[in-house]
Structure 1
Amino acid sequence: MGEVFAGRYELLEPIAEGGMGAVWQVHDRREGDIKAAKLLRQRDASSLLRFIREQATRIHHPHVVTPLGWAGEDDNVLFTMPLLRGGSVAMLVGDYGALSEQWVAAILDQTLSGLEAVHAAGVVHRDVKPGNLLLEVTGAGVPHVRLSDFGVAVPSDQPRLTEANVMIGTPGYMAPDQGFDPDPRDDLYATAVTGLHLLTGTRPPHDAAYVPRTQLGQLLLRAVGEDRAARPQSAAEFRELLARAVPARPWEPGEAEVLDQYAAGRTSPPPPPPPLTPRETPEKTALRRTKQHDDRPVWPIVVLMLAGILLLAGGVFLLS
């Protein structure tokens, strides 16, 4: 038997580990099912606040991963989410290489659909990339992705978690003109870079010479172009442009099912095509710093947010 957290969640096996904590597959002894859980074993106030903010970002949408509940024990905190066994889109591209335009359009449209809900809730994700798009097995025979990892997402009406004049994101996916204040258009830029990653099978930066000269390829290049005004200004506008670039058509027999089967682990992917320009750029969320700092204490904010979330959660928190 594995370690049991807060008397309820049995830690079965690790799924992934990052700077803010580890993601585990857990058995919920109360409900009797298997979930994914992010576990933070740190005493750093800023990391704890980001962790709590992710739990608080409860956006209910078919293409967004929504936290289910959370628990605390000693100096540790854990929150659960649905277990999506299909892996990430980054893993898919790593196995398949470049995806067809039909797949790319479907994945981007679902991502943008999720971002519409995220932005409507006044939140900027700030870290859209293939590794944060999770594949869900639906059995419907069509691709289905969910946007995950809201650890660095920023509601516009909540306190800044980083030092002043610090930008957060993954190198290569951040707009070169990205400002210090969160802007939903930065998520759209990262989505377009993600589309180029899927379409070419290579990580950023992307050379326009290697991008297919199709309507989709040209749309994505414009969406990451230097002229900010020429880029899509909203997720809804981006979806409309995407629909024109890749008109909807019925899936060919087996065309979509293979992705659902891959997500379910029922089939092995075909050998990937030779890469166009292999990149070794790490896709880790990073800070882009300047010399100015914000030295405001964080613990008072943590206490206030904990109190607010406890009132909203109403019994979800488990007292050990």
Structure 2
Amino acid sequence: MGDVFAGRYELVDPLGEGGVGTVWRAWDHRQQAYCAAKVLRQVDATSLLRFIREQSLRLDHPHVLAPTGWAGEDDKVLFTLPIIRGGSVSTLVGDFGPLPPRLVALLLDQLLAALGAIHAEGLVHRDVKPANLLLDATGRQRPQLWLGDFGIAAGIDEPRLTQGPYALGTPGYLAPECLRRGWDPDPRADLYSAGMCAVEMLVGLRPDQDTDAVEALAQAELPHSLPPQLVDVVTRLAAPSLTARTQEAAAARRALAESQLCADQVPMEGILGEVEVFDHVPEFPAGWSARGPVDGRGAGSPAGAATPSGAPTPAVVSTAMPGRREAPTRPAPHAPVLSAAQPMARPTSPRQDPPRQDPPRQDPPRQDPPPQDPPRGRFSVQGRVRGLGIALGLILLGLLVLIATVWIVLT
């Protein structure tokens, strides 16, 4: 079985790669349900600050994929999200090429609704791109888009985590002003990225940093004509000039509503065309089912639970202390170190067999009983060292979180 975080989240199988970590399917032993778990690749000051910002997002919106919880253990941290099964807009374009204009208008409207909500909270996403626009597996029903991956999001008035002429984001969707030295997070940069996402959905090709939306839409050879109202909304969103660009997500949504391209009365066949949003989540790996671990097995089972005969002891990689080596026959971390059947052998010390005999110590007037094995329930030396290591790891993680929080407050 997989690694377990904080005795609760068991990693089952990887689902994809994000900007700062790997997304896993995980089993929540407390809720007895599956969730998505994003595990950070590394824990340093910058990545920890971004982790704090992303996991602290608690925005309840039908198109914002916000974290639902988090856990940390040793040198790794993760946060959890709902599993979104329909892949992303990027995979949809890869499967079907240029999307029908009405479908593009619908997806763009949902994206703008999400951006309007996070901008109202004083947050700039800074990495809006088709790969971060996730879809429910709705098949031929009305699509449902989620804006996810807030790993490099920043508050409008918060300090930047990079110094110098660095631009965070993805080329092709990055607003031109983001490349200028000293640029501060601005919601209008997200609107530019949304416009370039719409360009990719319409033409079926990924833009580069020099792509001009007007030229890309005018020169594209498409199987269907583009409605002028939609072209106007998209090109205004993706205008290189800040003054010529749409200033708020709500304004672009009003223009889309006036176009009637994705009105409720339009049948789904007229919106989707030949497009279908498939389920992209892989089948369960061996030992897992829709109800969780098969036969109740799993690394997160309560201590003392029986292991099936012949089954190997599950390895716990991410929960191991850095630098600690486990012998193949050593019990799992949650198992007791000492037991009545396996007492710890006392090492032979120089005092027990010294080269020089000391009669007064070897044959004292009062005979003390011979040393006994540690009583059951008492920790061995190895157990104390292991416990100290785990405690130090947790303390270091807590100090990093405290330092990051104080730094954000002071700056």
TM-score of the two chains, using structure 2 as the length reference: 0.62
Query: Any idea what the Cα deviations from partners look like across 1:210-244, whole Å, max 9, x if unmatched?
Result: 25553212331233234432221001011112223
Question: 1:114 & 1:106 partners in 2: Cα distance?
Answer: 13
Matches within 5 A, 1:135-146: 135-137=135-137, 141-146=141-146
**Equivalent residue for 2:80?**
80
1:187 matched to 2:204? The reply is no
What one-letter code is carried by the residue in structure 1 that aligns with 2:101?
Answer: E
Question: 2:273 & 2:227 partners in 1: Cα distance?
Answer: 24
- Which residues of structure 2 form unaligned runs of 5+? 282-397
Tell me by how many angstroms 1:129 deviates: 0.7
Tell me by how many angstroms 1:255 deviates: 5.0
Contact kept? 1:89, 1:134, Cα under 8 Å:
yes
What one-letter code is carried by the residue in structure 2 that aligns with 1:28?
Answer: D
Higher strand fraction (1 or 2) = 1
Query: Any idea what the Cα deviations from partners look like across 1:96-141, whole Å, max 9, x if unmatched?
Result: 1111111101100000001111000000000111100000246892
Question: 1:32 & 1:257 partners in 2: Cα distance?
Answer: 36
Contact kept? 1:35, 1:81, Cα under 8 Å:
yes
1:303 matched to 2:402? The reply is yes
The one of 213, 218, 221 equivalent to 1:209 is 218
Question: 1:302 & 1:137 partners in 2: Cα distance?
Answer: 37
Contact kept? 1:141, 1:256, Cα under 8 Å:
no
The one of 258, 268, 279 equivalent to 1:264 is 279
Tell me by how many angstroms 1:168 deviates: 1.1
**Equivalent residue for 1:2?**
2
Question: 1:65 & 1:177 partners in 2: Cα distance?
Answer: 27
Structure 2 vs 1, CA of residues 47 and 133 (structure 1 numbering), >3 Å: closer, same or farther? same
Contact kept? 2:129, 2:193, Cα under 8 Å:
yes
**Equivalent residue for 1:251?**
266
**Equivalent residue for 1:295?**
none
**Equivalent residue for 1:284?**
none
**Number of aligned pairs?**
277
The one of 207, 210, 218 equivalent to 2:232 is 218
Matches within 5 A, 1:102-117: 102-117=102-117
Contact kept? 1:196, 1:217, Cα under 8 Å:
no
Tell me by how many angstroms 1:247 deviates: 3.6
Question: 2:399 & 2:74 partners in 1: Cα distance?
Answer: 19
Question: 1:306 & 1:34 partners in 2: Cα distance?
Answer: 30
Tell me by how many angstroms 1:261 deviates: 5.4
Question: 1:263 & 1:184 partners in 2: Cα distance?
Answer: 32
Query: Any idea what the Cα deviations from partners look like across 1:175-228, whole Å, max 9, x if unmatched?
Result: 113351000000000000000100111111352432555321233123323443
Question: 2:266 & 2:407 partners in 1: Cα distance?
Answer: 46
Structure 2 vs 1, CA of residues 121 and 301 (structure 1 numbering), >3 Å: closer, same or farther? farther
Question: 1:260 & 1:66 partners in 2: Cα distance?
Answer: 27
Contact kept? 1:143, 1:260, Cα under 8 Å:
no
Tell me by how many angstroms 1:172 deviates: 0.8
Question: 1:97 & 1:77 partners in 2: Cα distance?
Answer: 37
Question: 1:253 & 1:41 partners in 2: Cα distance?
Answer: 41
Larger CA deviation: 126-135 vs 43-52: 43-52
1:23 matched to 2:4? The reply is no
Secondary structure, aligned partner of 1:158: coil
TM-score of the two chains, using structure 1 as the length reference: 0.78
Secondary structure, aligned partner of 1:142: coil
Question: 1:260 & 1:8 partners in 2: Cα distance?
Answer: 39
Secondary structure, aligned partner of 2:255: helix
- Which residues of structure 1 form unaligned runs of 5+? 267-298, 310-320
What one-letter code is carried by the residue in structure 1 that aligns with 2:195?
Answer: A
Contact kept? 1:174, 1:186, Cα under 8 Å:
yes
Identity %: 48
Structure 2 vs 1, CA of residues 159 and 172 (structure 1 numbering), >3 Å: closer, same or farther? same
Matches within 5 A, 1:58-97: 58-97=58-97
Contact kept? 2:89, 2:135, Cα under 8 Å:
yes
**Equivalent residue for 1:233?**
247
Structure 2 vs 1, CA of residues 79 and 307 (structure 1 numbering), >3 Å: closer, same or farther? farther
**Equivalent residue for 1:286?**
none
Secondary structure, aligned partner of 2:246: coil
**Equivalent residue for 2:199?**
196
Question: 1:70 & 1:224 partners in 2: Cα distance?
Answer: 36
What one-letter code is carried by the residue in structure 2 that aligns with 1:189?
Answer: Y
